[in-house]
Amino acid sequence: MSIFSVNIKRILKSKVQLFFLILFPLMMMSMSVLEVKPTLKAAILDKDGTKLTALLAKEMATVATLVTIQEENLQKELMGLTADYVLVIDKGFTQSFIRGDSSKVQGYYVEESNLSLPIKSYVESFLHNGRLMAHAAGKDETAFYGALDAYQAGGMAMQYKEAVDPQYQNSRAAFGFMAVSMLYASMVTAMLILMNKSNRTFYRTLAAPIRIRSYMLQNAASFIVIAIIQIAVLFAVLKFGFGLYMGPSVLQMVLLFVVFALVSVALGITISAHAKSIVQACILGICTIPPMAMLGGAYFPMDDVPDAVKALAQFVPVTWVMQAVDKLLREQSFAAIAEDLAVLIVFATIFFLLGTLRKTDIAK
């Protein structure tokens, strides 16, 4: 197992390779973990002063920081970004609202900015549900407020949190960057194999009593061990350094990325088999990895892309690892990602065969 141990020592002693294996992924993932999101600011000019409008103000405070502005300065405050959204409630709003008449409420925001969209959608949802309750209460104020109390104790805030959970978003982005960085780390695999060929180490090794099959297996095993070390370090930093949410079981997420490590190592072996030089290997990596990351949804969810793109994405391993990440972050069971793991193993097998079938046993 001399090739196995020598490869590990070479990688761990190389500052450049350690940079691409550890520091580069951490830099990419920190962009999502430490991303500073803009604080939403809203103002409410309540001229009605009822229990309903007080509740509306309280609910708005769960999605935005409430600021105080003067109505005569409304336009100026919006343009100056003092507030992203201003809700003006006229006198008599609540009575008209319960009777089902036109609501005396108006929202103001800067059309060129999309910062107000979460607040605007939240207010519209609140008012829509309120109208349904008023209709169900038969336009009776007492019955309406009884339903409103039950509504307040229930799910509006919880539903909103589920829809835009920043914990989930940060975790998904971080694991997406991790998947991409592992694909780039496969370039280390390719460059080491090609370096051995260019300096004749590969041929001198095969002059010894060793078969090329053993040489390739030891190479692959050493790269897999390095990938597992990479995963262990990255997960430790993300979990204990950044406190990143990893689903109900960290071990399940680790096992998922260990399987994906097989894919990245096999991809590196494939690139080394088809590239004649390190430069060609780098070009192949640059031409294949970014499209795989984009199609696979590593940078953003693929929910809203055309069906044709979704169909094409099924042939990209990143798609399957990100699907599994989504399931684990949504607290689904490990059995739910069985299909994703199976497909990733198939990708690893195909890549490994593509990288080794062209080899011949020149040691004979």
CATH number at residue 139: 3.40.190
Q: Is 364 within a domain? A: no
User: What residue numbers bound the domain in which 100 lies?
Assistant: 41-163
> What is the share, in percent, of the chain residues with pLDDT greater than 90?
17
Check whether residue 246 and residue 126 sit in a common domain.
no
Task: Name the more confident of 290 and 209.
Answer: 290
**Residue 303: per-residue pLDDT:** 75
Check whether residue 59 and residue 19 sit in a common domain.
no
Among 130, 163, 196, give the residue marking a domain's end.
Answer: 163
Check whether residue 125 and residue 172 sit in a common domain.
no
Check whether residue 170 and residue 152 sit in a common domain.
no
Q: Is 297 left (phi over 0), alpha (psi -120 to 50) or beta?
A: left
Q: Is 208 within a domain? A: yes
Query: Average pLDDT, stretch 183-189?
Result: 82
- Is pLDDT above 90 for 255? yes
Question: What's the full length of the chain, in residues?
Answer: 364
Lowest mean pLDDT among 128-137, 252-261, 306-315: 128-137
Among 163, 181, 214, give the residue marking a domain's end.
Answer: 163
Check whether residue 180 and residue 213 sit in a common domain.
yes
Torsion of CA 152, 155, 161, 163, to 10 degrees: -130
Q: Is 155 within a domain? A: yes
Check whether residue 48 and residue 137 sit in a common domain.
yes
Among 104, 139, 163, give the residue marking a domain's end.
Answer: 163
Q: Is 362 within a domain? A: no
Q: Is 363 within a domain? A: no
Check whether residue 272 and residue 197 sit in a common domain.
yes
Which residues does 321 contact at the CB level (< 8 Å), separation at least 6? Answer: 179, 256, 257, 260, 263, 296, 340, 344
Check whether residue 324 and residue 229 sit in a common domain.
yes
37, 45, 46, 54: which is closest to 83 by C-alpha? 45
Specify the number of domains making up the chain: 2
pTM beyond cutoff 0.75: no
**Residue 363: per-residue pLDDT:** 43
Q: Is 361 within a domain? A: no
Q: Is 154 within a domain? A: yes
Check whether residue 104 and residue 210 sit in a common domain.
no
- Is pLDDT above 70 for 325? yes
Distance between CA 182 and CA 262 in Å, rounded?
10
Check whether residue 181 and residue 325 sit in a common domain.
yes
The predicted-structure confidence for 92-113, as pLDDT tens digits, reads as follows 888 888 888 766 788 888 765 6
Check whether residue 81 and residue 191 sit in a common domain.
no
Q: Is 148 within a domain? A: yes
- Is pLDDT above 50 for 62? yes
Check whether residue 147 and residue 201 sit in a common domain.
no
